[in-house]
A and B are shown apart, each in its own frame.
Chain A
Amino acid sequence: MILLQSFGIPPTLLLGTIGMLFLAIALIIFIIFHQRKVIRYQLKMQQMEAEQQKILLRASIRLQEEERQRIAADLHDDAGPLLATARLYLTENMVNLDKATQLQSIFNAKQIIDEAIQLIRNISHSLMPPTLKNFGLESAVNDFFHKINGSGSLNVNCRFHDYKVRLKPDKELTVFRIIQELINNILKHSNSSFIHLTQHNGEDNMIIRLHHDGRGLNQEDFLKMSKSNVGLGLKNIQSRLKVIHGDILFEQDPSESFYKVTIDIPKDYNEK
């Protein structure tokens, strides 16, 4: 400044110039640091999202493996021995037996085969409920709730306000699995005395809401648990929702007397 003043530059001009220069440099520094900060934040968010995706993928693989193991165990432990027993009744030796014993053996084998058929049917139903396939989500949920009510331990009911146009079959199955998972969680952890499910139709979406009066989760708990290593069921819910581009909201009622879970399912053009 002194150097420039020695050139005879008036202080007003010098101060004005320095002021403008200071503003320009401050602006450039601000832009650089702000942009760096935002980029780092965005990269961190992307990293976290990728991590979350990995967790969900792992959860869905684990779920698939568990499902396979269960089916394998059912087939191996139940269907296998049943069919082996039936085979024992139907040996070549049977022709040497008297007629009454032959008939008894055939009857026993028939009963065992019927049992095996029933078992395989049950496995098949657990993979794809026939009510859901034939009559849709409303009937499948009603059927599912009817079975729970049959136990008499709690009161479960549902009300579909407008479900004339069915969702696509794979979407219906996904929604049904989500409902099943939520109900299982409520039964296992909440100790509630009632569960009430309602369905409403929006213009572009379908809303399913579950109420229960037991211990529940809020959104923060849900997000925390679905990001941690525990809560496989919650991760499955999240990965299933991701497939159908849906949303879920866990909250407590303002009266704090019950918990709500709201599922928002976007509809395709032909589902409206």
Chain B
Amino acid sequence: MPAIFYLVTYKKNRDRKLRVIFFLIIINFLSDLYGLYTDTHNQKNYISYNLYILIETFSLYIFFYQIILSGAVKKTILLTIISFFIFWLYQFIRFGQQRFLDECITVENISLLAFCLYYYIEKIIKIDTAYIYTEKSFWIVTAYLIFISGTFFLLLYIPGLKGQEWQKYYVLNYVFVIIRTILLSIAMFMKNNDSPKQKFN
């Protein structure tokens, strides 16, 4: 749905930040399709999901790199990208074909949570006359903040479960995926706030 909205409003909203999210949504869609295919054919799809984790994390890190203004935090994001890649590679080589890389998801969620919080803090410190909710980036960050907060406990809980037991709790994940989709759709559909912003001292 957000991808359709993006394509519909593409002429009006040619924003580089949105391209990253659009790319992520497409990859997510393809990954889900592939997951569905492997599930119906009783094949394991750990590699594709683990690769998706890497792409998702990188895309979101790049998105935050684009929307955050502070130079120091931008450098921290670059450092996090490198660190995360090394960590993911290490985990992938060891367990990439045997299971989901829960540790990577936890690291991803914690770091993204931190960037979301910093984004909000920056919006409070560096105030302009535009209200925060008139910006697309706010809705995208909110979508991921709510998704990450909502599924955080679930992801901590799952590794302790046996066999396919985790699947019955996955309804929670679907609820938050729907919420995230709605919020991303709002971000994609809303008018671009291009009005010149006046900075307060």
Rank and list the top 4 A-B pairs by shortest CB-CB distance, nearest first.
Answer: A16-B153, A24-B149, A20-B149, A42-B200
- Contact assessment for A7 and B168 in the assembled complex, using a CB-CB cutoff below 8 Å: yes
Residues of A within 8 A of B43 (CB): none
**Given A31-B123, A34-B124, A42-B127, A13–B154 Cβ distance below 8 Å?**
yes
- Interface flag for A32 (CB, 8 Å): yes
- Contact assessment for A9 and B169 in the assembled complex, using a CB-CB cutoff below 8 Å: yes
**Given A35-B124, A39-B129, A13–B146 Cβ distance below 8 Å?**
no
- Interface flag for A43 (CB, 8 Å): yes
Expressed in whole angstroms, the minimum distance between the Cβ of A17 and any Cβ of chain B is 5
Residues of B within 8 A of A13 (CB): 153-154, 157, 169, 172
- Contact assessment for A32 and B133 in the assembled complex, using a CB-CB cutoff below 8 Å: yes
Expressed in whole angstroms, the minimum distance between the Cβ of A101 and any Cβ of chain B is 77
Residues of B within 8 A of A27 (CB): 117, 120, 145
Expressed in whole angstroms, the minimum distance between the Cβ of B133 and any Cβ of chain A is 6
- Interface flag for B111 (CB, 8 Å): no
- Residue of B124, B146, B152, B171 touching A4 (CB-CB under 8 A): B171
Inter-chain CA distance A31–B132, complex, in Å, is 8
Residues of B within 8 A of A9 (CB): 168-169, 171-172
A residues near B (Cβ < 8 Å) are 4, 7-9, 13, 16-17, 20-21, 23-25, 27-28, 31-32, 34-36, 38-39, 42-43
Residues of A within 8 A of B154 (CB): 13, 17
Interchain Cβ contacts under 8 Å between A and B, 8 examples: A9-B171, A9-B172, A16-B156, A23-B149, A28-B145, A31-B123, A35-B123, A42-B200
Q: Mark B119-146, 1 if CB is under 8 A from A, else 0.
A: 0100110010101110000000010011
Interfacial residues of chain B within 143-192, with CB under 8 A of chain A in the complex:
145-146, 149-154, 156-157, 168-169, 171-172, 175
Prevailing SS type, chain B contact patch:
helix
Expressed in whole angstroms, the minimum distance between the Cβ of B18 and any Cβ of chain A is 20
Interface centre among A17, A27, A43 (most CB of B within 10 A): A17
Residues of A within 8 A of B169 (CB): 7-9, 13
With both beta carbons as reference points, the residue of chain A lying nearest to B147 in the complex is identified as A24
With both beta carbons as reference points, the residue of chain A lying nearest to B146 in the complex is identified as A24
With both beta carbons as reference points, the residue of chain B lying nearest to A38 in the complex is identified as B127
- Contact assessment for B171 and A7 in the assembled complex, using a CB-CB cutoff below 8 Å: yes
- Contact assessment for A20 and B124 in the assembled complex, using a CB-CB cutoff below 8 Å: no
Expressed in whole angstroms, the minimum distance between the Cβ of B134 and any Cβ of chain A is 11
Expressed in whole angstroms, the minimum distance between the Cβ of B67 and any Cβ of chain A is 14
Expressed in whole angstroms, the minimum distance between the Cβ of B119 and any Cβ of chain A is 9
Expressed in whole angstroms, the minimum distance between the Cβ of A231 and any Cβ of chain B is 28
- Contact assessment for B145 and A24 in the assembled complex, using a CB-CB cutoff below 8 Å: yes
Inter-chain CA distance A35–B124, complex, in Å, is 6
Inter-chain CA distance A36–B146, complex, in Å, is 21
Expressed in whole angstroms, the minimum distance between the Cβ of A36 and any Cβ of chain B is 6
Inter-chain CA distance A91–B156, complex, in Å, is 113
With both beta carbons as reference points, the residue of chain B lying nearest to A9 in the complex is identified as B169
Residues of A within 8 A of B131 (CB): 32, 35-36, 39
Inter-chain CA distance A23–B152, complex, in Å, is 12
With both beta carbons as reference points, the residue of chain B lying nearest to A22 in the complex is identified as B149
- Contact assessment for B172 and A21 in the assembled complex, using a CB-CB cutoff below 8 Å: no
Residues of A within 8 A of B145 (CB): 24, 27-28
With both beta carbons as reference points, the residue of chain B lying nearest to A15 in the complex is identified as B153
Expressed in whole angstroms, the minimum distance between the Cβ of A74 and any Cβ of chain B is 45
Expressed in whole angstroms, the minimum distance between the Cβ of A24 and any Cβ of chain B is 4
With both beta carbons as reference points, the residue of chain B lying nearest to A19 in the complex is identified as B153
Interface centre among A9, A21, A42 (most CB of B within 10 A): A21
Residues of B within 8 A of A21 (CB): 146, 149-150
Expressed in whole angstroms, the minimum distance between the Cβ of A91 and any Cβ of chain B is 70
Residues of B within 8 A of A16 (CB): 152-153, 156-157
